[in-house]
Structure 1
């Protein structure tokens, strides 16, 4: 018997099986897990992608923000980006939630930082004394403790009413500053200021997590993912004080969205 045709036939069959198995395990099939998913992104600048390249429009949305990156990687049936830089909880309720479809399957959101005075607090700490910084942080902490929970509850309830069957992922905020060194470079914040702001950020995240869980939503904590990558650190995923454009200041850079926020949403979305 001539073994050559038999060997060639075996090779052909093996190659065909390999092709079939490779196709079955291709990324396209993995992405098909979300082929029937209608995804809506809500929230503030940390969701719109401020700090990353390619921002556009009044809401400063970027294709490098985590919602657009997740969409590109997972190819859901539809993607509606309602995020807007500067948004507070009442903006989400009045300007974002009403434009969601009731059939939405997946929602992501960051919200609460602007309600707590994120921008003015960081600016005050940048230009003021250590004591001034501590005072504005304390004011923010009072708001987070006394008023923010009700604002979050109202916002989460509005999302649930509008999209009763959606899987809602509430993402937190990173701790902004590295405190491993006393020095933060020329013009950088003192260690006292950085610690005060970080403490405020931790309280904000803990409050958001508690209210998200009370609403039956999934909380995606990004603090561990950003650990070691804060402002003043050797490999920051967060922009420091930025002059052009100033809105990028103290927001994630592209690495922060790609390696911090995107995996957090991916893990939480399932």
Structure 2
């Protein structure tokens, strides 16, 4: 009789353990199955193709160090298509990148808008023509971002939704370029750096609003790049460099430490 209570306790422990294991195993299996079933398409411009991160494949400069490839390597999806291309604008996404999308697509990533707003030209102006020309060119970009870009983003987002109606779409933004009052002793003026950062903030705000209105997730990479801008002690962005096309793009560390964690958390 003295053994009845210990026996009941032992049986109770075994039953509870069995129930716990049965309760958690299906969830773990479901998570693994969901990852394996992902059909992922990576769209966008040079920030998605991985310009600046090295190890390129083809004219679009798709890098094996770009965040879409890092995600693919970590999660082993059922399929992966990488159509992001250096220099792409919203029209290029619509006309040249949507081929792999269909109703079976489950995940889409995208960064777009910077080239539409003329950021490459603006940066060239800032580097070569001085502060006044820089600020004027940045103000032109701001006018475009506020007035014209929302409609261009809507068109690209609508096209993605139409081609991949069942996909989760994650839109990635752009980092601020400069750490103000940082360690740069040469180059463009502090006023020019502040103007560039302000335009980047505006681009992020507009993009986030358009993404939200389409039901897409938005990945703000500015916090991830904080402390790693140009003029910081640990830069994840190229300043003027060679090859010249890598200038003002994330390094491999910017892709792995900045873009990848933000995308991975949302996907």
TM-score strictly above 0.5: yes
Hey, what's the Cα distance between the residues in 2 that align with 1:56 and 1:212?
Answer: 29
Give the C-alpha shift of residue 28 in structure 1: 11
- Corresponding position of 2:161: 160
Does the CA-based 8 Å contact 2:181-2:190 persist in structure 1? Answer: no
Does the CA-based 8 Å contact 2:217-2:266 persist in structure 1? Answer: yes
Give the C-alpha shift of residue 245 in structure 1: 1.0
The secondary structure found in structure 2 opposite 1:64 is coil
Matches within 5 A, 1:54-73: 54-73=55-74
Which stretch shifts more, 28-37 or 245-254? 28-37
Matches within 5 A, 1:191-210: 191-210=190-209
Hey, what's the Cα distance between the residues in 2 that align with 1:167 and 1:97?
Answer: 15
Does the CA-based 8 Å contact 1:50-1:252 persist in structure 2? Answer: yes
Hey, what's the Cα distance between the residues in 2 that align with 1:29 and 1:51?
Answer: 37
The secondary structure found in structure 1 opposite 2:99 is helix
Give the C-alpha shift of residue 31 in structure 1: 5.5
Give the C-alpha shift of residue 211 in structure 1: 0.2
- Aligned CA-pair RMSD: 1.7
Hey, what's the Cα distance between the residues in 1 that align with 2:103 and 2:60?
Answer: 23
Give TM-score scaled by structure 1 length. Answer: 0.86
1:119 equivalenced with 2:120 (yes/no): yes
Matches within 5 A, 1:57-136: 57-136=58-137
Give the C-alpha shift of residue 87 in structure 1: 0.2
Any idea what the Cα deviations from partners look like across 1:1-40, whole Å, max 9, x if unmatched?
xxxxxxxxxxxxxxxxxxxx9xx8xx99976541001000
- Corresponding position of 1:239: 238
Give TM-score scaled by structure 2 length. Answer: 0.87
Stretches of structure 1 that go unaligned for 5 or more consecutive residues are: 1-20
Count of aligned pairs: 242
Distance 1:229 1:28, change over 3 A: farther
Matches within 5 A, 1:7-46: 32-46=33-47
Match of 1:260 among 258, 261, 265: 258
Matches within 5 A, 1:162-177: 162-177=163-178
Does the CA-based 8 Å contact 1:31-1:74 persist in structure 2? Answer: no
Distance 1:35 1:189, change over 3 A: same
